[in-house]
């Protein structure tokens, strides 16, 4: 089960997992980090107690983590569950994890350390320049990659330089019918205005719960990796703590604006999947079950 941020995946997934006896395998690229609790909207302790969750809280915020590692861990966990007669319900809003695991990882060029170092130096000297370049050379990738996600920006430009082809074209297998692994995928769908209202409420709740304090504590104790530090909510709080915003109102508005951008990127990714089935959250578990049992679009 997938869907954009603030769509209401968690509650519906837990109810479905309880009814079917499945265990949840998280497809959230930020829920993997320990201590980053408020800003990632992880399941609460009560929710975690209702249904077993996997691939949540597995690395510290200062550790490097990538899609290939997640796929490897997800494969190991799925194998373990099946060996003991248990079933998994994949849940999360990171489309790249979903596509890489179920469609297959891109067979891209090996890392080029010198090129990466040069690109990172350019970004440090002129923040935002890599995203601007990617917008010119691979606008589809730029739409999906956040301007602060240095690791993915560098990789996209590295692929361009080494192969002469865009990373978008090399991920074309994501749009092909069929799956590397058998699966059915439902996307929790809400209207634009409804999502905007939910993002507004979510942002206020996170700030009231102490998102700034959580960010400050992590920064002081261990720090953030580039990927973790670019997470929406934490990135803005780090800027706020450095005095880059005039007040909390600007902080709140920045988080909300960047969350809306994230939702557009997530939706752009997910629309590439012709087989995905849409489900309204108010249809409940019965509606979700019917959607998953319905004929696959395009078949």
Structural domains of the chain in order of their starting residue, each with its CATH number: 9-106+173-293 (3.40.50.300), 113-170 (1.10.20.140)
Does the pLDDT of residue 59 top 60, yes or no?
yes
Q: Which of 65-69, 127-131, 134-138, 147-151 has the lowest mean pLDDT?
A: 147-151
**120 alpha carbon, distance to own chain's centre:** 23
Pairing outcome for strands 53-54 and 277-279: unpaired
Does the pLDDT of residue 3 top 70, yes or no?
yes
Task: Report the pLDDT value the prediction gives residue 175, as an integer from 0 to 100.
Answer: 63
* Residue 185: how many other CB atoms lie within 10 Å: 18
Averaged confidence pLDDT in the chain: 90
Mean pLDDT of 19-25: 95
Rounded percentage of the chain residues whose pLDDT exceeds 70: 95
Mean pLDDT of 270-282: 84
Q: DSSP letters along 17-77, please?
A: HHHHT-EEEE--TTTTBTT--TTTTPPPHHHHHHS-EESSS-B-TTS---HHHHHHHHHHH
Tens-digit pLDDT profile for residues 177-225: 667 788 889 999 999 999 999 999 999 999 999 999 999 999 999 999 9
pTM score, whole prediction = 0.82
- Token readout for 230 is 């670019």
Read off the pLDDT band of 107 (50, 70, 90): low
Does the pLDDT of residue 172 top 90, yes or no?
no
């Amino acid at each position: 089960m997938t869907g954009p941020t603030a769509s209401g995946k968690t509650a519906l997934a837990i109810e479905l997992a309880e009814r079917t006896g499945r265990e949840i395998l998280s497809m959230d690229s930020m829920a993997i980090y320990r201590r980053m609790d408020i800003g990632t909207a992880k399941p609460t302790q009560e929710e975690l107690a209702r249904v077993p969750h996997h691939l949540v809280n597995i690395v510290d915020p200062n550790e490097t983590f990538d899609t290939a590692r997640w796929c490897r861990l997800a494969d190991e966990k799925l194998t373990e569950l099946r060996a003991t007669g248990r079933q998994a319900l994949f849940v999360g809003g990171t489309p790249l994890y979903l596509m890489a695991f179920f469609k297959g990882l891109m067979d891209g060029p090996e890392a080029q350390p010198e090129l990466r170092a040069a690109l990172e130096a350019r970004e440090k000297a002129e923040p935002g320049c890599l995203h601007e370049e990617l917008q010119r050379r691979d606008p589809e990738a730029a739409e999906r990659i956040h301007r602060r996600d240095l690791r993915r920006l560098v990789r996209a430009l590295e692929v361009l330089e080494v192969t002469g082809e865009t990373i978008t074209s090399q991920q074309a297998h994501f749009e092909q019918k069929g799956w590397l692994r058998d699966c059915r995928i439902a996307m929790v769908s809400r209207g634009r205005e409804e999502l905007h209202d939910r993002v507004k409420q979510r942002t206020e709740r996170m700030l009231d719960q102490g998102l700034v304090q959580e960010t400050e504590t992590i920064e002081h104790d261990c720090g953030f990796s580039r990927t973790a530090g670019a997470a929406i909510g934490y990135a803005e709080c780090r800027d706020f703590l450095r005095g880059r915003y005039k007040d909390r109102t600007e902080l709140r508005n920045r988080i909300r604006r960047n969350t809306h951008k994230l939702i557009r990127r997530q939706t752009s990714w997910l629309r590439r999947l012709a087989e995905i089935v849409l489900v309204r959250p108010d249809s409940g578990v019965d509606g979700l079950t019917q959607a998953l049992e319905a004929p696959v679009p395009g078949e």
